[in-house]
Amino acid sequence: MFKKNLQVSDLGEKKLIERIVEKSKDFEFNSNKYLNSYIGDDAALIDFNNNLTNEKNYLVATTDLLIQKHHFPLQMSFFQMGWKAVTVNVSDIAAMGAKPVGILISLAIPPNLALESFEEMIDGILEACNYYKIPLIGGDTNEDDEIIISGTALGKVEQSLAKKKYGFKIGDKLAITGQLGLAALGFELLKEENKEIIEKSIENKKISSDLVDLSIDAALNPKARLNEGIILSKIASSVTDITDGLASELYELFEANKNFNRNNNLGIRVYEDKIANEPLFEEIYDLSKILNKDIFDLIFHIGEDFELLFTFNNDNENSIIDELSKKLNFIIIGEINNYNKVEIEYCDGKVQKLSSKGYEHLSND
Amino acid sequence: MFKKNLQVSDLGEKKLIERIVEKSKDFEFNSNKYLNSYIGDDAALIDFNNNLTNEKNYLVATTDLLIQKHHFPLQMSFFQMGWKAVTVNVSDIAAMGAKPVGILISLAIPPNLALESFEEMIDGILEACNYYKIPLIGGDTNEDDEIIISGTALGKVEQSLAKKKYGFKIGDKLAITGQLGLAALGFELLKEENKEIIEKSIENKKISSDLVDLSIDAALNPKARLNEGIILSKIASSVTDITDGLASELYELFEANKNFNRNNNLGIRVYEDKIANEPLFEEIYDLSKILNKDIFDLIFHIGEDFELLFTFNNDNENSIIDELSKKLNFIIIGEINNYNKVEIEYCDGKVQKLSSKGYEHLSND
């Protein structure tokens, strides 16, 4: 038990969730036969089979709650708020390799919200549902001082294809589905204090307005990698989506494996130079420097990229890489080893334990 | 389209939801074959069958978001908040006649919340999950100034047994699973301004402290009628749960029928004296009088009872009533006729169109 005067902020989100999981073990019903995932994964997997046939599916269920002042920057339109709320939930479905079944959305809105703004938000929700082909199947509206959008996405996946945060083996390659850092950079670009320097840098041709637009678009109009998740379900050994920064997600994989294979020594190593090999890296690097930001800090500790982070077995040398390359864009950034930790190898060859400090809610640290 | 300067409060919750449903029809994907219910029902029904077998099930999904200052009275403990959040969602599963599969809970909590209070809230959630035998399968925690609990409950029901808000026929009886008005009375009793008069009335033996305790318990520790819903799935012609007052729910049934059978004239009549036949009615009546409240106003327009309102076919005279009586407590309060409206027959025999004004969020009326 904890000391009497502790506050939730003394623990942080991850420890609070661990506390819930720990408490839930006291109850017999939570050994329920329907449950096939642990609470730390991107989504829950629920057995929805018929014992009479061989087709074995999981229902995939995930929920995410977005609060105006924490998740929606001031520059975000009502349309974009609706779009983002659908995207964050679909992204978790994507990480499990599932196909969309339906989404439920609960809204809280201020009573003095202009009806036009409400309609824009609904348009954002429905256009996103249309984009991902996930029907809006239910919801709830409430009154509050600020906008809150809570979504629950449901998906379906063949049991043998469901992808979790564990399942990788020694020698597996570690990869991402696209450019990291753009969204984090976009959020920096949106800050009022950076407005002037951006305008000047574009004027002096130090940075391209295209990259500025691309970054802001990544921040305000994120896309979940749903199709990529379905492709990866047939090839990857583990998948998760990058919402809280790469470092935080790497530790999620590392810890998920530990939860299920206490006796192995699997570790993860990422390479700074491989991340720097991303097509747009040099331009992104220059832009972050102008903003007085370290691009690796944005990539490792801010996130909001909604790309997929995955591992795959590459025993047959390059045949799987060739196959994957035909189907989706990806960049190999590391591999699974047996050093029992999460490490980064810097461009100068120095190897160090990776700092786990991604963006974490509710923490005082 | 609406006028430019309208606010969401000019429409109210029901019209806002109608607007979402209307907009969603513009999108092809919403004619999705998985969807078997309309958004106005207690929960969504999603086809989860295997075409190779004859077993046809629906996945049932529903979501409800509770906000501290609107849904949790000051006297409610953290344990009770957690309990209520699970109950409101399970109640919608119960109304569909479904068995619980799992529940997802998203939380927002203030960073300065005492860890002890957080733990109490989690205990309330887990004890309720245990009570309803619904495993907690996922969730999310966030930071906010106030407590928000968003739940999504999933259930499973044989397709032939799924109960909707429509499906009743002329001559069907209308019934409820238990005592109405207790919870609404409980919320009145909790008001600071009523404290003194309650204490005096108990002292003078004008009211029993048992009834006061019972009412407060109904308000603070509501129970969803899950087992009753499963029993009714085999007998009833339609079911819904009473969350927003009886009047509002009667109109929900009336309108659901109209949505699916535009050409019939089915109407509903309830009888004041039948509602007054409830076992505790006289005591409840006296208590509400002391509080300067009209008990019928509380029953029809406040709600929060979480009892089930249902219809059933009674062609074989009393045989179904006998069967039902063995399995659950219920009170017949009206019937389905062909007068094409929702009416109340008062104790003096006068019949009038029932006012539809249940408690509605976001409305300015």
Nearest-angstrom CA–CA distance, B180 and A176: 57
Of the segments A36-45, A315-324, B138-147, which one has the largest average pLDDT value? B138-147
Query: Nearest Cβ partner of B104 from A2, A44, A140?
Result: A44
Tell me if B27 and A143 make a contact (CB, 8 A cut-off): no
Higher-scoring residue by pLDDT: A42, A81: A81
Band (pLDDT 50/70/90 cuts) for residue B11 is: confident
Chain B nearest C-alpha distance from A145 (Å): 10
Closest Cα in chain A to B136: A30
Closest CA to A108 of A136, A148, A81: A148
> Within this chain, do residues B307 and B205 fall inside the same structural domain, yes or no?
yes
CA geometry: angle A323, A133, B94, nearest 5 deg: 120
Instruction: Report if residue A90 sits inside a domain.
Output: yes
**Which of A22, A65, A154 is the mutation pick for testing B, counting most B CBs within 10 A?**
A65
List C-alpha distances in Å: B211 to A6, B180, B190, B207. 39, 13, 13, 8
Q: What string of DSSP letters covers B206-273? A: SS-HHHHHHHHHHHHS----HHHHHHHHTT-SEEEE-SS-HHHHHHHHHHHHHHH-TT---EEEEEHH
Among residues B56, B156, B149, B57, the alpha carbon closest in space to that of B101 is found at: B156
What is the nearest CA distance from B288 to chain A, expressed in angstroms? 28
Q: Which residue, among B3, B20, B36, would best test binding to A if mutated, counting the most A CBs under 10 Å from its CB? A: B20
Using alpha carbons, select from A232, A116, A227, A107 the residue that is nearest to residue A164.
A232
Strands B351-353 and B342-345 come out as antiparallel
pLDDT single digits (tens) A174-199? 999 998 999 999 999 999 999 999 99
Reported as a single tens digit per residue, the pLDDT across B195-238 is 999 999 999 988 899 999 999 999 999 999 999 999 999 999 99
- Between A and B, how many residue pairs show a Cβ–Cβ distance under 8 A? 278
Q: Is the pLDDT of residue A4 over 80?
A: no
Q: Is the dihedral of CA B77, B82, B83, B88 positive or negative?
A: positive
Residue B361 lies in a domain: no
| Torsions phi, psi for B251 (to 5 deg) | -65, -30
> Which two tokens mark B312?
């059933």
Query: Distance, in angstroms, between A267 CA and closest chain B CA?
Result: 27
C-alpha B282: how far from chain center: 24
CA distance A90 to A130: 12
Q: What is the per-residue pLDDT across B66-76, written as a single tens digit (0 to 9) for each?
A: 999 989 989 99
Question: Beta strand B99-109 with B267-271: parallel, antiparallel or unpaired?
Answer: unpaired
**C-alpha dist (Å) from residue B356 to B253, B274, B314, B344, B353:** 12, 19, 27, 11, 9
CA-CA-CA-CA dihedral for A248, A250, A253, A259, to nearest 10: -60
CA-nearest of B58, B27, B64 to B306 is: B64
**pLDDT of amino acid A68:** 94
Q: Which of B24, B114, B119 sits opposite A136 (nearest CB)?
A: B24
Q: Can you state the angle between helices B115-132 and A13-24, rounded to 10 degrees?
A: 40
CB–CB contact A46 B104 (8 Å): no
Q: Which of B302, B166, B197 is nearest to B246 (CA)?
A: B302
Test A61 with B152 for CB contact under 8 angstroms.
Answer: yes
| CB nearest B30 (choices: A9, A63, A135) | A135
pLDDT at position A363 over 90 = no
Q: Say which of A37, A53, A106 has its CB closest to residue B63.
A: A106
Tell me the DSSP string of A236-253. Answer: -SEEEE-SS-HHHHHHHH
A145 & A177 share domain: no
Q: What is the pLDDT of residue B232?
A: 97
Query: Which ranges in chain B belong to alpha helices (H)?
Result: 13-24, 68-71, 78-95, 115-132, 182-189, 195-203, 209-220, 226-233, 246-260, 272-275, 281-290, 295-301, 319-327
CA distance B164 to B291: 36
Distance from CA of B39 to the nearest CA of A (A): 5
Write the residue in A13, A28, A118 that is nearest to B8 by C-beta.
A118
Sequence letter at residue A139 = G
Q: What is the pLDDT of residue B277?
A: 86
Interchain pair A152, B61: CB under 8 A: yes
In a domain, B19, yes or no: no
Last residue of a domain, one of B161, B187, B217: B161
Show residues of chain B in contact with A104, CB under 8 Å. Answer: 44, 61-63, 152
Same domain, B240 and B349: yes
* Domain ranges, residue A346: 173-353
Nearest C-alpha in A relative to B6: A115
Average the pLDDT over B239-246 and give the result: 92
Query: Residue B127 sits in a domain of what CATH number?
Result: 3.30.1330.10
Instruction: Name the strand (E) or helix (H) holding A141.
Output: strand A136-143
- From the list B6, B13, B106, the residue facing A65 with the nearest CB is B106
Q: From residue A261, give the alpha-carbon distance in Å to each of A164, A250, B258, B338.
A: 14, 16, 57, 66
Average pLDDT, chain A: 89
Residue B49 to chain A, least CA–CA distance (Å):
8
Same domain, B266 and B213: yes
Distance from the B2 Cα atom to the nearest Cα atom in chain A, whole angstroms = 8
Q: How confident is residue B365, by pLDDT bands cut at 50, 70 and 90?
A: very low
Are B106 and B131 within one domain?
Answer: yes
Residues A70, A124, single domain; the answer is yes
Query: Residue B87: inside a domain, yes or no?
Result: yes
pLDDT of residue B280: 87
Contacts of B24 in chain A (CB under 8 A): 126, 129, 136
Q: Would you give the distance in Å from CA A219 to the centre of its chain?
A: 13
Q: Are residues A344 and A260 in the same domain?
A: yes
CATH code at A327? 3.90.650.10
Task: Write the Ramachandran bin of B115: left for phi over 0, alpha for psi from -120 to 50, otherwise beta.
Answer: alpha
Note whether B29 contacts A134, CB cutoff 8 Å: yes
Nearest to A154 among B43, B61, B122 (CB): B61
Instruction: Please indicate whether, in this complex, the C-beta atoms of B55 and A50 are within 8 angstroms of each other.
Output: yes
| Upper half-sphere CA count for residue B234 (Cβ side, 13 Å) | 10
Q: Confidence band (pLDDT; 50, 70, 90) for A364? A: very low
Q: Which of A160, A187, A204 is the C-terminal boundary of a domain?
A: A160
Interacting residues of B124 by C-beta distance below 8 A, sequence separation 6+ = B77, B78, B79, B80, B81, B82, B83, B84, B86
Q: B280 vs chain A: nearest CA distance in angstroms?
A: 33
Q: Is A30 in contact with B154 (Cβ distance < 8 A)?
A: no
Using a CB-CB cut-off of 8 Å, the residues of chain B touching A13 are 141-142
d(CA B87, CA B225): 9
Asked which of A97, A131, A160 is the last residue of a domain, the reply is A160
pLDDT per residue over B145-185, tens digit each? 999 999 999 999 999 999 999 999 999 999 999 989 999 99
- Nearest C-alpha of chain A: how many angstroms from B166? 17
- What one-character DSSP code corresponds to residue B358? -
Please state the length of chain B: 365
**Distance of residue A103 Cα from the nearest chain B Cα, in angstroms:** 9
Does residue A82 fall inside a structural domain?
yes
Strand B136-143 to B173-176 pairing: unpaired
Split at pLDDT 50, 70, 90, the class of B364 is: very low
User: Cβ–Cβ of A23/B122 closer than 8 Å?
Assistant: yes
Find chain B residues with C-beta within 8 A of A140's C-beta: 63-65
- B311 and B242 in one domain? yes
Mean pLDDT of chain B, nearest integer? 89
**Which residues in chain A have Cβ-Cβ distances shorter than 8 Å to B63?**
104-106, 138-140, 150, 152
Q: DSSP string spanning A78-98?
A: HHHHHHHHHHHHHHHHHHTTP
Q: Measure Cα distances from B191 to A334, B222, B228, B297 in Å.
A: 61, 18, 31, 17
User: Testing the interface with A: which of B63, B157, B364 to mutate, by most A Cβ within 10 A?
Assistant: B63
- The verdict on B143 and B245 lying in the same domain is no
**Residue A21's pLDDT is what?**
80
From the list A252, A259, A357, A356, the residue with the least C-alpha distance to A310 is: A252
Encode pLDDT of B78-101 as tens digits: 999 999 999 999 999 999 999 999
* 3-state SS, residue A57: strand
- Specify the DSSP class assigned to residue B355: P
Considering the domain architecture, whether residues A183 and A106 belong to the same structural domain is answered as no
**Cβ-Cβ contacts under 8 Å, A19 against chain B:** 118-119, 122
Residue A74 in any domain: the answer is yes
Q: What is the pLDDT of residue A30?
A: 59
A50: nearest CA in chain B?
B50
Q: Say whether both B154 and B190 belong to one domain.
A: no
- Cβ neighbors of A361 (< 8 A, separation 6 or more) are A12, A13, A70, B141, B142, B143
Q: What is the pLDDT of residues B31-69, one digit of tens each?
A: 454 556 656 677 888 877 645 556 688 899 999 999 999
Nearest-CB residue to A114 (from B7, B37, B106): B7
- Of B39, B104, B108, the residue nearest A151 (C-alpha): B104
Q: Which residue has the higher pLDDT, B123 or A320?
A: B123
Q: Which long-range contacts (CB under 8 A, 24 or more apart) does A20-27 make?
A: A20/B122, A20/B136, A20/B139, A23/B119, A23/B122, A23/B123, A23/B126, A24/B126, A24/B129, A24/B136, A26/B126, A27/B126, A27/B129, A27/B130
- The amino acid that residue B354 corresponds to is L
Residues A100-124, mean pLDDT to the nearest whole number: 94
B251 in the same domain as B191: yes
Pair A127, A199: CB distance under 8 Å: no
Q: What's the number of domains chain B is made of?
A: 2
Question: Rounded distance, CA B99 to CA B134, Å?
Answer: 9
Nearest CB neighbour to B139, from listed A63, A105, A140: A63
- Give the pLDDT band (50/70/90) at residue A365: very low
Residue B1 falls inside a structural domain: no
Task: Tell me whether residue A17 is in a domain.
Answer: no
Pairing of strands A342-345, A351-353: antiparallel
Cα of B239 to nearest chain A Cα, Å: 18
Say if residue A341's pLDDT is above 50: yes
From the CB of residue A239, how many other CB atoms can be counted at a distance below 10 Å? Answer: 28
